Amino acid sequence: MACVRFQNSKFEIQPGQTVLDCLTEHGVRISSSCKTGICQTCMLRSTSGTVPVSAQQGLRSTLVDQGYFLSCVCIPADTIAVEMPGTQANPVTHVSLVAKDWLNEDTARLMFEGDFPDEAKSGQFFNIERPSDGLIRSYSSAQIGMGSLEIHVRRLPGGKMSSWLCDEISPGVPCRITGPYGACYYAGCDADQPILMIGTGTGLAPLLGIANDALAKGHRGTIRLYHGSYRTSGLYLVSELKLLAKQYSNFEYLPCVDFGEHGTDKGEFRIKRADLAAAEDLADLTGYRVFLCGHPEMVKSAKRRSYLAGASLKDIFADPFVISPVG
């Protein structure tokens, strides 16, 4: 007979009984509403065992990838172990800086090495802790794998963490990182599904990681990456991304600037906000997967615009950056 393991208990599941009903019967309180798999209030996470595909219908692929399921419609064939969402311990990685270079006058690329969790994926974000005082800030990964993590940091005027990372930390300095967090990464995507990416500033970092992962895994659908900045000086990795576009016929890189300075080559940079340029080019986003990273107002407006253009909410992945006055 199938069973469900929860914390230190094991309960038998009666024939035809759902995980939600079984746990509720044994006094475990789980939030629920519709009990038809629509509202997603009763979502749990499986840590072992096989979850029926029907219990994950309608969930984002990134949630499915992490083992989440709808307990109100889950009737497992075998024993599964479950936990409440968010109860898993935040993995801590002890890392050290191995390299740092400047991508433009305000943005640095930092490479850390450490024993990162196997489930970590490029595009997710991590919390970095400064060892001197425990100050913590979040940064998205441009690349993770083979024991290394790449992040991009924009130096903010008076920013405590950004100034430390950009100007003070040196190779060999140890610090603690927790994570990964977030759903902005490439997973469970139809290889032929078109992908739209829009980012501003260091919002390019997670998008770069997602694009490289998709291309490395043989994604065949079109990938269009719009990266925006107020001025051309805020863009970076332009040559590298143009080279990537030459290497892969299904990848397109479109750098955008809000204001064109004197001498700006309009053929090289789009003089328009990145999200508006994307909306101008792609009026119909039906069937697209959309990734939005960067300034929170841009992400908010682009998410709404993408949905109205036909993109399904479950295919829109948003990572708005927190704007802190003390960086």
CATH of the domain at 219: 3.40.50.80
CA angle 78, 37, 49 (to 5 degrees): 20
User: In this predicted structure, what is the pLDDT of residue 264?
Assistant: 53
Q: Residue 326 domain-assigned?
A: no
Q: Is residue 186 part of a domain?
A: no
Q: Alpha carbon 176 to chain centroid distance?
A: 20
Same domain, 33 and 63: yes
pTM to 2 decimals? 0.77
Mean pLDDT of 19-33: 90
CA distance 327 to 112: 20
Tokens 């993408």 sit on residue: 306
Of 151, 181, 211, which one is at a domain's C-terminal end?
181
Arithmetic mean of pLDDT, 161-178: 92
Q: 293 with 250, same domain?
A: yes
- Residue ending a domain, among 181, 212, 232, is 181
The answer as to whether 308 is a domain residue is yes
Burial of 267 (0-12, 13-18, 19+ CB in 10 A): exposed
Residue 263 is predicted with a pLDDT of: 46
155 and 199 co-located in one domain: no
Tens digits of residue pLDDT in 247-284? 999 999 999 998 766 545 556 889 999 999 999 999 99
Tell whether 189 is covered by a domain.
no
> Residue 315's pLDDT band (boundaries 50, 70, 90)?
very high
Do 217 and 294 lie in one domain? The reply is yes
Predicted confidence (pLDDT) at residue 240 exceeds the cutoff of 90: yes
d(C-alpha 119, C-alpha 306), whole Å? 29
Express each pLDDT in 280-304 by its tens digit.
Answer: 999 999 999 999 999 999 999 999 9
Domain count, the chain: 3
35 in a structural domain: yes
Provide the residue range defining the domain that includes 23.
3-83
Q: Assess whether 227 and 312 both reside in one domain.
A: yes
Indicate if the pLDDT at residue 97 is higher than 80: yes
187 belongs to a structural domain: no
104 and 39 in a common domain: no
Instruction: Say which amino acid occupies 263.
Output: G
- My answer on whether 35 and 12 are in the same domain is yes
Residue 166 is assigned to a structural domain of this protein: yes
* 171 & 248 share domain: no
pLDDT band at 41 (very low <50, low <70, confident <90, very high): confident
Q: Kindly state whether residue 249 falls inside one of the protein's structural domains.
A: yes
Region 149-178: mean pLDDT is 92
Q: Which of 37-41, 121-125, 188-192, 242-246 has the highest mean pLDDT?
A: 242-246
* Mean pLDDT, residues 172-199: 90
